[in-house]
Structure 1
Amino acid sequence: MTKDQVDSTRKGDVPEPAARVEGLPHLVGAGPQPSARGEPLARALVVGSLIGVVLAVSNVYMGLKLGLWESGNIIASLLAFGGMTALSRWKGTAGPSAGELQLAQSVATSAGIHPATAGLMGAIPALALMGATPPGWAVVLWGVGLGTLGVWVAFVLRRRLLEEEALPFPTGVATADLISTLRDRGETPREGARGLGWAGVGAAGVTWLREGLRLFPGSSFFPGRLGDVAAEQLQLGVGWSPLLLGLGVLVGPHVGVSLLLGALVAWGLLAPWLVREGRVATSGFEHLVTWLTWPGVGLMVGAAVVTFAALGRLVPALGADVLQLWRRRADGERRVFPWQGSVVPLAVLLVLILGSTVFGLRWWHLLLALVLLLPLCTVGARAAGQTDISPVATIGALQQAAFGAVAQGQPALSVVAGSVVAGPLASTSVGLWSLQAGRLLGVSVPRQFQAQWLGVLLGAAVSLPTYVLLVRAHGLGTPELPVPSALQFQAMAEVSARGLEGLPPFGALAAGLGLLAGILLSLLARGRLERFVPSAVAVGIGFLVPAYYSVTICLGALLAAGARRVWPASAPVSRGVGAGLIIGESLMGVLLALLGLLGLASYN
């Protein structure tokens, strides 16, 4: 997820890393399996592409609402098995092999992560909020260029991180374990699959009733007032949103309660004070969030500072990584596939041309950003391999700060420069998780990269139309699309380019206090108090989104935790239900936006 993948948000749908590795004695270190090579591509690519479309649409929708993304390795594997098994029964052919399932999830996850890679969750909407909206064709090509570079970086780091150092990349191990189990048993886990399916259908139906037929409102606000402001004006209530409930199921109580804490401080305490003191023009969400952005971003930057300091221990290995990337193996095999000799240089050229002609960066700015791409992505990839968390926001913020100092007075340029590294890092992390699964299953590396690059092209084709539909239907910076990641990009750009000038009254003080609080919370969370210390990133997000978002996510997290405590065997069901709720509302929300713009539904 774009904000350092808020604590355990990625880990909500998979076992603990240690259990994953111990559960794969038949896979770890087994090397290539003959049966996994030479798999037919057609069925895997078709099914994987369809799943990739679903993941890309869901990530655009969820990213614009909450700044979060889901890699989808586990979900894609389950859906691929179900889809290919149904096809095989229909045609009377053999069921899917482990190699086919791996290739399908490689395509799907590469397409699904594209909204983060292309900057559609953060950099692109941030530019739009700053009055510098780039043309759609340029965004598509920009995403293809950055996505290709991310896939390439994952490839060149593959042997060093996966084989020579054997970093765990736990999500990849869990994916391989799941695919192996599915293939051996020949059936999907019924509880999780049914939960996902029925929850998806139910979420789509609720969204249709809420937004299409308008039978009930999107949220119910608490009665009463806080000071001189009604709770409804402060967005204090509960949302009738399956997506928010499903996200709560996946992120768990720790993140859910942290979001609620941020909402209570921001919208329950600070917002009424802002209105009472006359610090904002009106009590509407759009006006209040312009001030609350600063302490919220301060909290997230504080967490990023601690994260980057922790990444410092990974830097000494960086030189050895770079030196070994282009060496030959003892058997003469190159670390570069032939197709990269043409595709990668074209991607670099594409980024250089678009960056200088459309996004306004000077050629030497772009060269510097591209030179820093490999080392910064290497540090981020090592973090993803060891902790299962990709520090996308941290690395992007570092790049933004560096370029803000170079391009003073031009905040939009630091946004673009930050996306040059943050985008590929998201693709690199997901690519390495997928490659770890492929290594354990013995799937051909060239075929995996063909699948991942196909996912880049597919994601580019799907993500921008989805983004445009949602923005035209709801606007940016609204309660429907609060775009917290874009607000973080924008705030960082303005501070790095202009300093503290232009901040609202007391904004600088609030940002500084948020920064200190973020550092303190993150440091405390690295000790024995981790379970009891709120997540600084989640608290910060609570400042940037409507309060009922946080209340509903927390409600979903607590309900799921309660169900698991009463019924321990419900864990697979709850994970499937959470994913289904997110996918169902995302797909129906985009469909309704399209129908509304075509005049076929009274939507918005």
Structure 2
Amino acid sequence: MSERQSGRATAAPAPTPVPVPEESGAPSLHPVSAPAPAVPELTPRALVAGGLIGAVVAVTNVYTGLKTGFWESGCVLSSLLAFGGLTALSRRSAPPSPLETNLSQTTAVSVGAMPASAGLLGAVPALAMLGTQPPGWAVALWGVGLGTLGVLFAFSLRRRLLEEEALPFPTGAATAELISTLHSTGSAYAARVRGLWASGLASMGLTFLRDARGLVPQMSLLPGTLKVGGLGADSLTLGIGWSPMLLGIGVLVGPQAGLSILLGSVLAWGGLAPWLVRTGVVTEAGYPALSGWLLWPGVGLMVGAAATSLLSQVRALPSVMQDLRGLGKDGEGWESTAGRWVARMVLPAILLTGVMAWFAFQLSPLYFLLALLLTFPLSAVCARATGQTDIAPMSPLGQLAQVGFGMTVPGQPGLNVAAGGVVSGAASHTSVSLWSLQAGRLLGSSASRQLLVQLPGLLLGAAVAIPTYHLLLSTHGLESPLLPMPTAHQFKAVATLTAQGLKGMPESSTLATGLAFAVGVLLSAGAKGRLARWLPSAAAMGMGFVVPAAFAVTLCLGSLLAAAVGRFRPSATQTVQSAGAGAIVGESLLSVIISALVAFGLMSAPG
């Protein structure tokens, strides 16, 4: 999932973005020349603040990813928190510079993306569903290796994508604009932080009443006496979820994605689910039984959309290979030195990941190299899609890699999931790194220094994300309705299909999956033309097939609320977006804390 959000005087003048004409999709900011050396950038306080904020983002992403399949890069949230934290720390020293704030958000983003790079949201729980549970330390090293490859790959692509082709990378541009605004006026920070703290505290309060005291239900379902297609509404999970996090996600993804998820949910739970029970295809009503069938057309929609994205990027693959051959040979001074170090670090990162893939995931060196051959072009596809649309399709591309791997090595679902995890893990850090590099480019930051802070951030991210993942699983279980793990189910479904063929699919789901794939292709192709703003998102629709209907309703309500505020009170739009981020962080953090207390026997799980 990508962010759609997008102060005080400093010792040196803040770099000010210069507006340029909106041509060829170029961002509305123009990079400035590098600041004078006197402007502080890589400072201990920037690293400490970035690490602490990144730890919060990592915990949040584990929880939201397992619950909804969405996760945030944290670029904008990290910038806001970094500015506030650095300003508070500077009362007895020089005020922070915009470049310090940017280095903090770069560090935080690298830490926060580790749950996706390590496969904790998709590949690792999917393997657990298939009976394989690799040790936590091996998953951590695996994630560090894949994250390193993603960071290095982003560094190698930055010149072509950010400078030569000038792809917009809207989240990166919005981050640069926010940092520049925060350092030029304190009012922007005050407006955003009010929404962030107010919603965060309210979110924690509701989560405490729900998860610790059991006074608020997880979902308020419509009564079973209300029939939909002859099936009780409660069996279809029709209702609303008492989750500030879902409202916050809706605020950030916007109305198009929110309505698309609701449309997918209506088709799945209001249309297909009653038909499945009525015809006897599924013999038991309820979320666990029905979701096992509905998952397949949902995956078809998402993989169809990803296939279209891949085809649209085929012509760019020769440029990608040229970038790889020239790795470390361009730039001057710091840039040239960093480029050479990047080139030297590629082989150690590959070796580390390969050893962990063999030891923990039983992915032999030959199969790992096959997965790696898919990783580089597909990560480039993900990077270009991120730059053009601000949506990073790392999980669907991982599932495309599963299809390609399955055609070469059929009949081994566990290896198939691991191979998909290699692609999606590296692609995750490639995309988020390019968002940060775009922000740094527009602010005049040093790409080499951004590279330096991203790599240690991977270690901190692993140290935070792995325990959080195990805490949540020990409290809620592997396939709990409260943690539906939609991305993991997608990985598992594709692995089953490639291993067993059509025989591995539920009865009557083959045709539905094929039709959904075709719809995904058509919607994704149509989204590149004039109808883009009116067509639903195929990937978001697919998510509506997987999560409980009450989750989709709540998320859509959040997106419509944000749209209404933007229409009738545009001046409050930024405050509402910050409130959405606060709601996500508040519920995620407190839910993880409660899970830890339950796991250590310090609190009893309610009811």
Q: Does 1:449 align with 2:451?
A: yes
Aligned CA-pair RMSD? 2.3
Question: What residue in structure 1 maps to residue 128 of structure 2?
Answer: 128
Q: Tell me which of 42, 53, 56 is aligned to 1:54.
A: 56
Cross-structure match for 2:275: 273
Change (3 A) 1:371 1:216: closer
Number of residue pairs matched by the alignment: 591
Q: Which residue of 2 aligns with 1:284?
A: 286
Q: Is the 8 A contact 1:192 1:576 kept in 2?
A: yes
In structure 2, the residue matched to 1:152 is: 152
- What's 2:94 paired with? 94
SS at match of 1:261: helix
Q: Is the 8 A contact 1:154 1:429 kept in 2?
A: yes
Letter in 1 for 2:414: A
Offset of 1:373 from its aligned partner?
Answer: 2.9
Question: Contact 2:305 / 2:524 at 8 angstroms: preserved in 1?
Answer: yes
1:562-602, Cα deviation, whole Å (9 max, x unpaired): 22222121101110111011110000111111111122222
Give the Å deviation of 1:291. Answer: 0.6
Could you tell me which amino acid in structure 1 is paired with residue 348 of structure 2?
Answer: L
Following the alignment from structure 1 to structure 2, what is the Cα–Cα distance between the partners of residues 25 and 260? 31
User: Following TM superposition, by how much is the alpha carbon of 1:335 offset from its aligned partner in structure 2, in angstroms?
Assistant: 6.1
Identity of aligned residues (%): 52
Bigger shift: residues 33-42 or 547-556? 33-42
Further displaced range: 164-173 or 78-87:
164-173
1:527 Cα shift?
Answer: 2.6
Contact 1:37 1:442 (8 Å CA) reproduced: no
**Alignment partners' CA distance in 2, 1:596 and 1:465:** 14
- Supply the distance in 2 between the matched residues of 1:50 and 1:187 (Cα, whole angstroms): 25
> Which residue does the alignment assign to 1:354?
356
> Partner of 2:313: helix, strand, or coil?
helix
Corresponding residue for residue 438 of structure 2: 436
Q: Is there any run of 5+ residues in structure 1 with no aligned partner, and where?
A: none
1:468-501 deviation per Cα after TM superposition (whole angstroms, max 9, x unaligned): 1111111233211111111111111122222111
User: Relative to structure 1, is the Cα distance of residues 505 and 79 closer, same or farther in structure 2, using a 3 angstrom cutoff?
Assistant: same
Within a 5 Å distance, the mapping from 1:453-602 to structure 2 comes to 453-602=455-604
SS at match of 1:31: coil
Deviates more, 1:443-452 or 1:131-140: 443-452
| Correspondence for 2:30 | 28
Q: In structure 2, what residue type is equivalent to 1:410?
A: Q
Equivalent residue number for residue 322 of structure 1: 324
Which AA in structure 2 matches 1:511? T
Structure 2 residue 210 is the aligned partner of structure 1 residue 210: yes
Deviation at 1:506, TM superposition (A): 0.1
Question: Mapping of 1:102-113 within 5 angstroms?
Answer: 102-113=102-113
TM-score (norm. length: structure 1):
0.93
> Does 322-331 or 345-354 show the bigger shift?
322-331
1:245 and 1:553 in contact (8 A); partners too: yes
Distance 1:269 1:114, change over 3 A: same
The aligned counterpart of 1:181 is: 181
Instruction: Please tell me the residue identity of whatever aligns with 1:453.
Output: L
* Other-structure match for 2:114: 114
Counterpart secondary structure, 1:542: helix
How far does residue 390 in structure 1 lie from its aligned partner after superposition?
A: 2.1
C-alpha contact (below 8 Å) 2:382/2:392 kept by paired residues: yes
Structure 1 stretches of at least 4 aligned residues deviating more than 6 Å after TM superposition: 23-27, 330-333
Superimposed CA distance per residue, residues 414-458 of structure 1 (whole angstroms, 9 cap, x where no aligned partner): 111111121111101111111122222232333211211121111
In the TM superposition, residue 28 of structure 1 has moved relative to its aligned partner by: 2.3
Instruction: Classify 1:518/1:376 alpha carbon distance in 2 versus 1 (closer, same or farther; 3 Å).
Output: closer
Distance in 2, matches of 1:206 and 1:171, equals 30
Q: Which residue in the other structure is 1:162 paired with?
A: 162
Check conservation: 1:210, 1:216, Cα contact below 8 A: yes
Amino acid of the residue matched to residue 180 of structure 1? Answer: S
Residue 249 (structure 1) aligns with: 251
Is contact 1:229–1:272 with CA below 8 Å preserved after alignment? yes
**Secondary structure of 1:501's partner?**
helix
- SS, match of residue 220 in structure 1: strand
Q: Deviations over 1:176-227 (max 9, x none)?
A: 2221222222564322110011100110111001111111211111121224
Separation in structure 2 between the aligned mates of residue 329 and residue 251 of structure 1, nearest angstrom: 37
One-letter amino acid of the structure 1 residue matched with residue 462 of structure 2:
A
Q: Distance in 2 between matches of 1:116 and 1:310?
A: 24
Please say which of residues 346-355 and 164-173 is displaced more in the overlay: 164-173
**CA 1:294–1:588 in 2, change beyond 3 Å: closer, same or farther?**
same
Cα distance between partner residues in 2 of 1:21 and 1:401: 43
Q: 1:529 to 1:443 in 2, by over 3 A?
A: closer
Distance in 2 (alpha carbons) for counterparts of 1:177 and 1:282 = 52
2:266 corresponds to which residue? 264
Aligned to 1:411: 413
Cα distance in 1 for residues equivalent to 2:340 and 2:251:
44
Q: Which residue of 1 aligns with 2:13?
A: none
Indicate conservation of the 8 Å contact 1:303/1:537, yes or no: yes
Aligned to 1:194: 194
Contact residue 299 and residue 537 of structure 1 kept, 8 A: yes
Matches of 2:373 and 2:282, distance apart in 1:
43
* TM superposition shift of 1:271: 1.4
Deviations for 1:480-535, whole angstroms, at most 9, x for unmatched residues? 11111111111111222221112111011121121122222223333322222221
Measured after TM superposition, the shift of residue 38 of structure 1 is: 5.1
Q: Deviations over 1:109-142 (max 9, x none)?
A: 0111111111111111111111112111111111
How far is 1:25 from its partner?
Answer: 11
What do residues 391-427 of structure 1 show as CA deviations (whole Å, max 9, x unaligned)?
A: 3134312221111112211011111111112111110
**Structure 2 residue 150 is the aligned partner of structure 1 residue 171:** no
| SS of equivalent to 2:323 | helix
Whether contact under 8 Å (2:329, 2:340) holds in the other structure is no
Question: Greater CA deviation, 36-45 or 109-118?
Answer: 36-45
SS of the residue corresponding to residue 590 of structure 2 reads: helix
Unaligned runs of 5+ in 2: 7-16
